[in-house]
Amino acid sequence: MTATTPAGVSSPFAGTGKGKFTGNKAAIETTLKACFSAMNAMSEGGDDYFAARLAAAVGAYLKAGSVSVTLQSPLAGTGAGAIA
């Protein structure tokens, strides 16, 4: 990790932190319900269709969510961001 001091100087540090991801699971649920409805009418190709829809739903879920981190001793501080 590289930390920026109040003076604006970057310094390398190592330590632990606790992170938390927050996202809206309903987005995945909605996508999968629509996927299963469409698959009911399919006679073939359902596996590939499901895999593509699941991957897209999980990717969108992760990108729309947020990440927060709290540093552990001896470091102190918090941060927040997103998955690009």
* Mean pLDDT value across residues 35-51: 96
Average pLDDT, the chain: 88
pLDDT at 2 over 70: no
Residue 61 in contact with residue 22, Cβ under 8 Å?
no
Q: Is 23 helix (H, G, I), strand (E, B) or coil?
A: coil
Residue 54 forms part of a structural domain: yes
Query: Which residues, including other chains, have CB under 8 Å from residue 80's CB and lie 6 or more apart?
Result: 66, 67, 68, 69
Q: Give the type of residue at 41.
A: A
pTM: 0.69
What is the domain extent for residue 47? Answer: 18-81
pLDDT at 31 over 80: yes
Residue 63 forms part of a structural domain: yes
The domain tally of the chain equals 1
Residue-wise pLDDT tens digits, 16-27: 888 999 999 999
